[in-house]
Amino acid sequence: MSSQENPAYRRISAAEAVTLLAADPAPTIFDVRDMASFRKGHLAGAAQLAEDRFLLWQKRLDKAAPVLIYCYHGNASQVFAQMFVDFRFTDVYSVDGGYEALAVVAADRLAA
């Protein structure tokens, strides 16, 4: 069975992601956009992740702990989510809509 038929990670909306961020335990957050975009703005607590640092990160994390990944629009985050799943992580999320959607929802929730 291919990963497209039954992906082991979950694609979630920005609203679901913000809810997940408030959960206990809170997920490890990865921003997979380029470093310049990360420096301009990112979610609090997010780490910038590039392919060349993936192996280091995956060795440091509990494979059962939640991992939340976002990018520009939700495409690259799916690639990274599948990489985590391939390394036997069991609670992995890719955010549809990417950083901009997350930033809007997070700002709305904080204002409420």
- Scanning the structure block, which residue is given the tokens 């069975």? 1
Element (H, E) at 104: helix 98-111
pLDDT exceeds 50 at position 65: yes
pLDDT exceeds 60 at position 5: no
pLDDT for 82 equals 97
Q: What is the pLDDT of residues 88-111, one digit of tens each?
A: 999 999 999 999 999 999 888 766
Residue 72: C-alpha distances to residues 34, 85, 89, 97, 100 (Å): 9, 21, 23, 7, 7
Question: Beta 67-70 vs 10-12: how paired, if at all?
Answer: unpaired
pLDDT for 94 equals 98
List the domains of the chain with CATH numbers. Answer: 10-111 (3.40.250.10)
Query: What CA–CA distance (Å, rounded) separates 85 from 101?
Result: 24
pLDDT exceeds 80 at position 41: yes
pLDDT for 111 equals 63
- Active site includes 48? no
Choose the catalytic residue: 71, 81, 101, 102. 71
Average pLDDT, the chain: 91
